[in-house]
Every structure is written in C-alpha cells, then in structure tokens.
Amino acid sequence: MTHKKPFLPEKMCPVCRRPFRWRKKWRNTWEQVIYCSQACAGRKRPEGLSSSAAKRKDQRSKRGY
Ligand SMILES: [Zn+2]
C-alpha cells in the first residue's frame, strides 16, 4: 500500500490527559483549542479557573495592597 496517511496534529487534553487529533471543525481554531471536548472544557480544574484570581492576589501582595 502506498497510500499516504494524512498527517493530523495531536494535542494532549489537560483534563482527561488523552491525546486528541485535529478535527475539521477546528481547522480555523486549532491553535486555540486546549481541551478535547466541551465536556472537558467544562470540567477544567479549579486551579485553572482560579489562576487569574491567584495572579490578581499575587499582584496585590506585591503592591502591598
Ligand atoms: Zn479531554
């Protein structure tokens, strides 16, 4: 068989820790895709959710708020 396999980029989902492949629906947004599915995007860890809050806290403590 000389049929070439199309190369599909892969990413690892930080929630379920599984690699997932490029999909057509992501052809324009692949760079921004982080999670393998909406389910995982909704299940992201509280760490991720509070990271911006933690940053703010950090800035505050640096400023001596
Ligand atoms: Zn996932």
Strands 19-21 and 10-12: antiparallel
pLDDT in tens, 2-61: 777 778 999 999 999 999 999 999 999 999 999 999 999 998 766 555 445 545 555 555
pLDDT at 64: 57
Count structural domains, the chain: 1
Q: Which residues contact 8 (CB under 8 A, 6 or more apart)?
A: 21, 22
Per-residue CA distances from 31 to 19, 36, 59, 61 (Å): 15, 13, 29, 33
The reply to whether 15 falls in a domain is: yes
Distance (angstroms) between ligand 1 centre and the Cα of 49 equals 16
Q: What is the pTM of this model?
A: 0.57
Tell me the CA–centroid distance for residue 45 and ligand 1, in Å: 12
Is residue 21 within 8 Å of 9, Cβ to Cβ?
Answer: yes
User: CB within 5 A of ion ligand 1: which residues?
Assistant: 13, 15-16, 36, 40
**Domain limits at 52?**
10-60
Q: Does a structural domain hold residue 16?
A: yes
Gap from CA of 33 to ligand 1 centroid (Å)? 11
How far does Cα 27 stand from its chain's mean position? 16
Q: Is residue 34 part of a domain?
A: yes
